[in-house]
Amino acid sequence: MIRYDIIVAGAGTAGVFAALSAAKQGMNVLLLEKTTACGGIGTNGAIAPYYDRSFIDLSADIDKDVFDRQDGSGFLLPLKRNCVSTELLKRAYEQELLKNGVEIIYRAVVSGVLSDGNHVIGLRWHDPQGNHEAGAGVVIDATADGTVLALAGAEFLEDGIRQPYARIYSYLAGDSLWNFGGDAGYVNQDDPENLSLELLKSAAAQVPEQFSEVEKRFLTAPVPGLREGRHLRGRETVRFSDIVHNKQTGNPVAREYANFDTHTIDLVFEDEEFYLFCVAALQWETHFNITIPFGALLPVGMEGIIAAGRMISADHEASQGVRMKGCMKHLGAIAGAAAAISVKKKISLSKVSSQEITALYPLPERAELLKQNTDLWLSDPVEIKEKLKKSNPGTAIWSAYLNGVTEPLYELLDESGFARVHGAFALALQHDKKALKVLRELVEREDQTRSETLRNEPVREPHGAIAAYLLGRLNDKESFPLLCSLFENSRDFFFVSAAWHSLLRLTENNSELRRSGYEVLKSFAEGQRKIPPFRCYCGEICDATEKMKSITLKHLKNITL
Amino acid sequence: MNDYSVLVYGATFWGIGFAAASSGVLVIDPGINPGHEFADTFCTKICRPEQLQTEFARYFYSVLQKHNAIHDGKLHPAALVPMLCSFILEHKINVLLDTILIEKQPVCIMSGASKRNISADQIIDTLTPSGTVWKKYFNALLHGEENAVIPTEYLNGSADSPTIAPGRFSSEAVLHFPVSPGTGYAEARQELEAFWRLRPEMLSKWKIAALAPEFYEITDSSQQKNRFFSQGYSDPLLALDSGIMEALK
Ligand SMILES: Cc1cc2nc3c(=O)[nH]c(=O)nc-3n(C[C@H](O)[C@H](O)[C@H](O)COP(=O)(O)OP(=O)(O)OC[C@H]3O[C@@H](n4cnc5c(N)ncnc54)[C@H](O)[C@@H]3O)c2cc1C
């Protein structure tokens, strides 16, 4: 059997740099890719922009080389002129890999793992010539979905909800090339039938009345635009709660700088703290440093295999921030370096020191914007109170919550406008019932005012809708009739979904409301009523009726009358 | 259900045609785009409806026409994937995308990390040519700036040199770039980029919008030998028609 020092599965965003970084350490590397080109979502998926930038020189140098020559290349260039042509990148990656001695096999789908007990020692794959296998000192799973880890029997974090996916196609935008990456709904790619059906439905939904030369279509991407899949259960895990409570610890090997870029159709479907943070505390757009410890790449209970890419150990909420191309390339380079150190020193991956890795690939700095997340939060109650009076209170609501600031905010409840509303939100986050009066008022008049995020964008959810959600958090039984009426009669999606969420909670938590709540919810779940449509994050019109019905039915099953 | 009369390898036009006119068929494909053998090679050829023998194929032709994807005997290749997906759903064809055939006996298929054994009385492979490949092309989809015309020497060139075929829209064309049958994707990309870098001035109004994710292969002409190989047909509708005819036999 042929043996390589390192086999990388998946030549995508992370995989290319895993292979390159290992090869640069003198390793004999095999790179297996199921499509016919390198680069993954960033090339085959035609996603040209960086969220932030490339964090490693290995990638920045390739980008610069392509960027410098793309003007006269005769290739149609991306709409955003600071982006690199995704078609030219395919060849540039390949050239660099081949120059460094990496062996690339295209149309090779990993089909099995060779192991010795809990130690991965090689891979099987299938290509048009048949089935093959080879041994390896270390295997790097860069398949995005953790396919190799799953084949090896690795553990994954609880299977929760995932982000909606996109069926990407490229098209002519003005005189440039761009991609359409609009959300196509939810999919579970671990279920082959579901994945196929959704891929067919999403492409069929893209048939226009008339194909036309304006916005002329080029190509439906040969890879699915999956934003999220399995998350490895790693030796360490990146958690949303740690990030927003300043509890990130350990020796990081990488750092993402992003917001929690959620594409969920509505945040009421997400974890409560995530909703509170993104919506009630207006933090959807705020960018954070998210540090990634080396252990997030290492599966528990397994040796000889390391993860690189969006499947690393991060919970669903955190992963919405830890998936951008710049960071994924960095993670690839780190996995490649760690694998090389492990092979050279004949030590297990878990014994590789993070200092040795960061010496090769230092943590990216964002000094000009934000050195520490703690710089974002305010601690002075007076400052918090002043900021709460603005239409864009910045991080004041969350800062009040983090620091337990309540009493100084009571005065705000007697004021008008933003001061009153933001004061109530900050108190409601802390379960302070003094907020109830203001919240009820906002719901009663279906208040449509919207606050602004840190970057001065109005949030999608109006004050009245956020208040309806918070009444559920405060278990305000008195609001039950008000919420029922809002749920049944409002024509605004955000009011309906927030009232629905609170009704579910009130019904579950209060025996005296159980029967009437049950009836309202049951009549919705079994009835014909449609929830008002709304515009989701990518700008498309969504209908959440079926999703809300199926969640309602699940809740009803757990209610004993 | 894991018992099928036929397992069709390739959600190709031939394979989908066959499945549309049969029952108990499962179609699997390693990729995610049905009809990729023509769509992802930027096929602009389309036959005349009179050449089609089946109702299904004529229907597909009429839908392409209705959505403005055909004009004057030329096809807009980007229309193929969404339109074929729509056809598959409409005809309730059993398709598993992103799925490979890893063993033929017993039949074992694999999607992502899940493997399963199925039973099938017959396997029809529509992806692999049974004859030898005697011509292979690495195509590129071109976008023409205002008033771009295809120079005659490229319109009517020989099959062994690069040629350009017009697409359905005046700004759409496809570069057919011949490579030798043993060429891999990395070499093909290198050769095409080198050619394009040094292209003559008369092509300066044409830009490459996309490189083909798949080779276009022409096999020896014995149709009998290659009758399942979808790309062996000169256009997608003839392949669809032939798949349907095979099922009706
Ligand atoms: C629609 C969309 C828009 C986005 N927009 C942006 C943006 O604007 N900016 C930004 O920074 N980020 C963006 N992202 C996020 C980012 O692009 C991805 O999260 C990131 O590229 C994932 O990197 P990866 O290496 O984990 O996966 P990928 O790049 O998907 O690479 C995985 C590779 O593994 C291969 N593979 C899979 N299974 C196998 C197998 N069994 N055998 C062999 N090979 C296999 C695949 O073919 C692929 O090449 C976007 C993502 C999506 C989906």
Which residues on A lie below 8 Å from B141 (Cβ)? 218-219
Nearest CB neighbour to B96, from listed A151, A192, A207 = A192
**How far B159 CA sits from the closest chain A CA (Å)?**
23
Name, in order, each residue with C-beta under 8 angstroms of A232's C-beta and a sequence gap of 6 or more: A146, A149, A154, A155, A156, A157, A296, A299, A307, A311, A312, A313
Of B232, B227, B226, B231, nearest to B244 by C-alpha is: B227
User: Do A463 and A421 form a contact (C-beta atoms < 8 A)?
Assistant: yes
Answer yes or no: do B97 and A170 touch at CB < 8 A: no
Output the pLDDT for position A185. Answer: 84
Q: Is B69 on the interface with A (CB under 8 A)?
A: yes
Which residues on A lie below 8 Å from B96 (Cβ)? 192-193, 196
Which residues on A lie below 8 Å from B171 (Cβ)? 213, 216
Answer yes or no: do B171 and A213 touch at CB < 8 A: yes
Of A542, A516, A543, A515, nearest to A529 by C-alpha is: A543
Top CATH class, A3-158+229-238+294-361: alpha beta
Q: Is B145 on the interface with A (CB under 8 A)?
A: yes
Architecture of domain B2-130+221-248: 3-Layer(bba) Sandwich (3.50)
Which residues on A lie below 8 Å from B190 (Cβ)? 91, 95
Which residues on A lie below 8 Å from B78 (Cβ)? 169, 211, 216-220
Within the 31-50 window of chain A, which residues sit less than 8 Å (CB to CB) from chain B? Answer: 34-37, 44
Name, in order, each residue with C-beta under 8 angstroms of A484's C-beta and a sequence gap of 6 or more: A499, A503, A516, A520
**pLDDT tens per residue, range A501-531:** 999 999 999 999 999 999 999 999 999 999 9
Find the closest chain A residue to B70 by CA distance. A211
Answer yes or no: do A212 and B68 touch at CB < 8 A: yes
Residue A265 reports pLDDT greater than 90: no
Which residues on A lie below 8 Å from B69 (Cβ)? 211
Find the closest chain B residue to A85 by CA distance. B209
Give distance in angstroms: CA of A54 to centre of ligand 1.
Answer: 15
User: Do A73 and B195 form a contact (C-beta atoms < 8 A)?
Assistant: no
Q: Residues A291, A295, A296, CA angle at the centre, nearest 5°?
A: 60
In chain B, where the domains are located: 2-130+221-248, 135-218
Phi, psi dihedral angles at A29 (to 5 degrees) = -120, 135
Answer yes or no: do A216 and B214 touch at CB < 8 A: no
**How far A36 CA sits from the closest chain B CA (Å)?**
6
Output the pLDDT for position B223. Answer: 66
**How far A105 CA sits from the closest chain B CA (Å)?**
9
Give distance in angstroms: CA of A305 to centre of ligand 1.
Answer: 20
Residue A366 reports pLDDT greater than 80: no
From start to end of A216-280, where are the E strands?
217-220, 252-258
Q: Is A150 on the interface with B (CB under 8 A)?
A: yes
Q: Cα(B242)–Cα(B222) distance, rounded to whole angstroms?
A: 15
Answer yes or no: do B79 and A211 touch at CB < 8 A: yes
ipTM confidence: 0.97
- Residue-wise DSSP of B156-217: T--TTS-EEEE-SSTTEEEEE-EE-TT--HHHHHHHHHHHHHT--GGGTTEEEEEE-SS-EE
Q: Cα(A19)–Cα(A12) distance, rounded to whole angstroms?
A: 10
Answer yes or no: do A196 and B168 touch at CB < 8 A: no
Pocket test for ligand 1, best of A325, A329, A537 (most atoms within 8 A of CB): A325
Within the 157-196 window of chain B, which residues sit less than 8 Å (CB to CB) from chain A? Answer: 168-172, 184-186, 189-190, 193, 196
Give distance in angstroms: CA of A217 to centre of ligand 1.
Answer: 22
3-state secondary structure of A396: helix
Tokens of A346: 């004949």
Q: Is A523 on the interface with B (CB under 8 A)?
A: no
Q: Is B107 on the interface with A (CB under 8 A)?
A: no
pTM over 0.90: yes
Answer yes or no: do A190 and B88 touch at CB < 8 A: no
Give distance in angstroms: CA of B140 to centre of ligand 1.
Answer: 23
Output the pLDDT for position A67. Answer: 96
**pLDDT tens per residue, range A381-438:** 999 999 999 999 999 999 999 999 999 999 999 999 999 999 999 999 999 999 999 9
Output the pLDDT for position A368. Answer: 47
Tell me which residues of chain B have a pLDDT lower than 70: 1, 221-224
Residue A363 reports pLDDT greater than 90: no
Give distance in angstroms: CA of B67 to centre of ligand 1.
Answer: 32
Output the pLDDT for position A539. Answer: 67
Pick A93 or B222 by higher pLDDT: A93
**Length of chain B in terms of residues written:** 249
Output the pLDDT for position A370. Answer: 54
Output the pLDDT for position A287. Answer: 87
Output the pLDDT for position B222. Answer: 67
Q: Is A172 on the interface with B (CB under 8 A)?
A: yes
In chain A, where the domains are located: 3-158+229-238+294-361, 164-220, 431-557
Pocket of ligand 1 (CB under 6 A): A 9-15, 32-35, 40-42, 47, 49-51, 108-110, 142-144, 147, 166, 168, 181, 223, 225-227, 309-310, 323-326, 328
**How far A68 CA sits from the closest chain B CA (Å)?**
14
Q: Residues A452, A455, A459, CA angle at the centre, nearest 5°?
A: 35
What is the SS3 assignment for B11-32?
Answer: CCHHHHHHHHCCCCEEEECCCC
Q: Cα(B138)–Cα(B175) distance, rounded to whole angstroms?
A: 8
Q: Is A216 on the interface with B (CB under 8 A)?
A: yes
Output the pLDDT for position A552. Answer: 97
Pocket test for ligand 1, best of A13, A34, A41 (most atoms within 8 A of CB): A41
Residue recorded with tokens 């226009």: A208
**pLDDT tens per residue, range A198-232:** 999 999 999 999 999 999 999 999 999 999 999 99
Whether CATH 1.10.3470 fits B135-218: no
Answer yes or no: do B97 and A98 touch at CB < 8 A: no
What is the rounded average pLDDT for all residues in chain A?
Answer: 94
Ligand 1 atom index nearest CA of A14: 25
Query: Environment class of residue A201 by beta-carbon count within 10 Å: exposed (0-12), middle (13-18) or buried (19+)?
Result: middle
Number of helices (H), then strands (E), belonging to chain A: the values are 19, 14
**pLDDT tens per residue, range A177-189:** 999 887 888 899 9
Residue A347 one-letter amino acid: I
Of A216, A273, A219, nearest to A243 by C-alpha is: A273
Phi, psi dihedral angles at A383 (to 5 degrees) = -65, -40
